[in-house]
Amino acid sequence: MPISNELQGNTELGHPVAIGGVGGSGTRLFCKILSELGYWMGEDLNDSLDNLLFTLIFKNDTSVKCIDSEFEEAVTLFAKRMKMGSILTPVEIDFIKRFSMKDNPATTRPLWLDERIEIISRQSQLEQGRIQGWGWKEPNTHILIDRLVKCIPDLKYIHVMRNGLDMAFSDNQNQLRRWWWLVFEKAPKFDPKASLSYWCWVHKRMLSIGKTLGENFYLVNYDNFCANPEIGLQKLLKFLNFEIRKEIIDHLLQFVKPPDSIGRYKNEDISEFSPEDISFVGEMGFPTK
């Protein structure tokens, strides 16, 4: 069941927008762009601009396995804080603690947990009259996007992807280590081969989910976006229902800086990769030679 209307996007603010992708895919750029456009992306962000309230509540096995009513309650409290800026009550905070601390790696960092709880216990920095919309960026969002849209039907989702071959050789393999059990029957070697298999699983799943989301789903090829940023920004603004104006494009261009790691797979041995996985990378529009 959808969360209450006052917590959903409305005509004035537009659709709420979530950003996700395999870790290291360039999601930070899109969070920065939305912030520049006037979106409220949260007050509790790390250096990568991840929304740590989302991390606290949803980056755990419980969020995948729990019954719908529990998940809906968690989303309602997240949206209440994000959109309304409400101070959460002790009862609501107790629910978040119970929900989020099962199978959550953050439970080994009590100071981190205390910081998150302290922030949602005080007045939000949200200034209602000065925002164009609200949303969040947390790479792991894609794991739960099918459940999230059932609770927030007007949610727009931006999924950022980089070349799976490049991602296989990334130092950031946090998602593979966190969610391997969704893909493999037993824990794999956390090596480039397993990383590529995880990437393929994620994006095959995104293609399927994207069909159900329709116009509220935007799959971004990060490499192409960096190579042709003006075209990429025009498409993004259209997706967000923003007026496409030259001054907006010119302002946002300054934030697009292609990383040196694009094409790093060319310096690596990819002979151990599954031919099917390599083929799928090509089908997704990336070079594989």
Structural domain that includes position 28: 18-283
Is 223 a domain residue? yes
- CA proximity to 142, closest of 59, 211, 226, 41: 59
199 vs 193: CA distance, rounded Å: 10
Residue 84 lies in a domain: yes
Counting residues of the chain whose pLDDT is more than 90, the rounded percentage is 80
Q: What is the pTM of this model?
A: 0.92
- The label of the residue with tokens 């609501």 reads 92
Inside any domain, residue 166:
yes
| Phi, psi for residue 10 in degrees, rounded to 5 | -130, 180
Whether residue 289 lies inside any domain: the answer is no
Question: If phi over 0 gives left and psi between -120 and 50 gives alpha, with beta otherwise, what is residue 273?
Answer: beta
Q: Is residue 75 part of a domain?
A: yes
CATH assignment of the domain containing 131: 3.40.50
Residue 90 burial (10 A CB sphere; 0-12, 13-18, 19+): exposed
* Amino acid type, 50: D
pLDDT score of 84:
81
Give the total number of structural domains in the chain: 1
**Does any domain span residue 12?**
no
Q: Look up residue 122 and give its two tokens.
A: 């005080």
Structure tokens at 154: 């007007």
Give the pLDDT of residue 35.
95
Q: For residue range 242-254, what is the model confidence (pLDDT) as tens digits?
A: 989 999 999 999 9
Residue 15: the pLDDT is: 87
Q: What share of the chain in percent tops pLDDT 70?
A: 91
Q: What pLDDT sits at residue 10?
A: 37
| 3-class SS string, the chain | CCCCHHHCCECCCECCEEEECCCCCCHHHHHHHHHHCCEECCCCECCCCCEHHHHHHHCCHHHHHCCHHHHHHHHHHHHHHHHHCCCCCHHHHHHHHHHHCCCCHHHHCHHHHHHHHHHHCCCCCCCHHHCCEEEEECCCHHHHHHHHHHHCCCCEEEEEECCHHHHHCCCCCHHHHHHHHHCCCCCCCCCHHHHHHHHHHHHHHHHHHHHHHHHHEEEEEHHHHHHCHHHHHHHHHHHCCCCCCHHHHHHHHCCCCCCCCCCHHHHCCCCCCCHHHHHHHHHCCCCCC
Tokens of 60: 């755990």
Q: Is residue 2 part of a domain?
A: no
Examine residue 10 and state whether it is found in any structural domain, yes or no: no
135-151, pLDDT tens digit by residue? 999 999 999 999 999 99
